[in-house]
Chain A
Amino acid sequence: MIRGFIRGLGELFLTFGVAVVLFAAYTLWGTGQYTENAQADLGEKLDREWARPEKVTTEKVKLGDGVALIRIPKFGKKHRFVVVEGVGVGDLRKGPGHYPDTAMPGELGNFVVSGHRTTYSAPFNRVGELRAGDKILIDTRDMQYVYKVTGLKVVRPNQVEVTEPVPFHPGRKPKERLITLTTCHPKYSAAQRLIVFGELAEQTPRVTGHTAT
């Protein structure tokens, strides 16, 4: 009786251990599936919106919807994500997220985007390899913006000044059109943040008929 109980308990613990290992594997490799599905949906939605003939205002994008496309050519042709509006846990599971209170692509100020370094398709997995001059492409309905990296910095998770219109100078009026990417650092940790700074180098009007997918 007692022996059976102890054996049962042992089996339970072993089972739990195996489940924990499986969960770790899921976190690393399984979560990307969720992001891929979400990205496919967002891409289709963006396509439909962009294909609409009359101009719809893009001033206020609903939280969780797509705002733009981000591509970093250095990471290959397949590196292409729909940027969602919002940086909540749920938003970042779907893809890189735009801080709602920061500038929109191409605007004066700072277009700030946060993304996962690992897990959930890891859109910003390799941003640590970016160097000054590397291109970050942002596509919106009407324009293509080419930003060029100006520098990288590792900061503490609470250093919100990197998201200011002029990074590190809260309250100062922006004169430049900047982009800032934030992601976790080091990989598999949330101890610090890796920040990539960039500035607008070129902008080209988009020919209609471009697709998001």
Chain B
Amino acid sequence: MYLWIWRHLPVRHPAAKAGLSLLLVLLAVAALWYWVFPWLQPMLNHQIDNGTINEG
């Protein structure tokens, strides 16, 4: 998978390739942090930190 992406990067120079891959990684992390995790987190949090008292 990663090898395939590396080969298909639209630049040739090794430094440019490295830079572009770093950018892609950062984009992936940002998408998770600001978009996927905020949506996922409220569904999973209850066993880590739940302060309410209830009958259940």
B45 to chain A, nearest CB (A): 7
How many A residues have CB within 8 A of the partner chain?
40
Q: Which residue of A lies closest to B46 (CB)?
A: A190
A170 to chain B, nearest CB (A): 12
How many B residues have CB within 8 A of the partner chain?
23
User: B42 near A89 (CB under 8 angstroms)?
Assistant: yes
CA distance A193 to B50 in the complex (A): 8
CA distance A162 to B52 in the complex (A): 11
By a CB distance below 8 angstroms, the chain B residues around A158 are: 53-56
A11-B1, A26-B33 in contact; A92/B54 too (CB < 8 A)? Answer: no
By a CB distance below 8 angstroms, the chain B residues around A182 are: 51-53
A19-B32, A22-B29 in contact; A193/B51 too (CB < 8 A)? Answer: yes
By a CB distance below 8 angstroms, the chain A residues around B46 are: 89, 190
**28 sampled A-B residue pairs with Cβ under 8 A:** A22-B29, A27-B37, A27-B48, A30-B37, A30-B38, A34-B38, A87-B52, A89-B45, A89-B46, A92-B52, A116-B51, A120-B49, A124-B51, A155-B53, A157-B52, A157-B53, A158-B53, A158-B54, A158-B55, A158-B56, A159-B53, A162-B53, A182-B52, A184-B49, A184-B50, A184-B51, A189-B47, A190-B48
Indicate with 1 or 0, residue by residue over B19-38, a CB within 8 angstroms of chain A CB atoms. 00000000001001100011
User: B53 near A193 (CB under 8 angstroms)?
Assistant: yes
From A23, A159, A190, B49 is in contact (CB under 8 Å) with A190
CA distance A7 to B1 in the complex (A): 8
By a CB distance below 8 angstroms, the chain A residues around B55 are: 158, 160
Indicate with 1 or 0, residue by residue over A131-171, a CB within 8 angstroms of chain B CB atoms. 00000000000000000000000010111101100000000
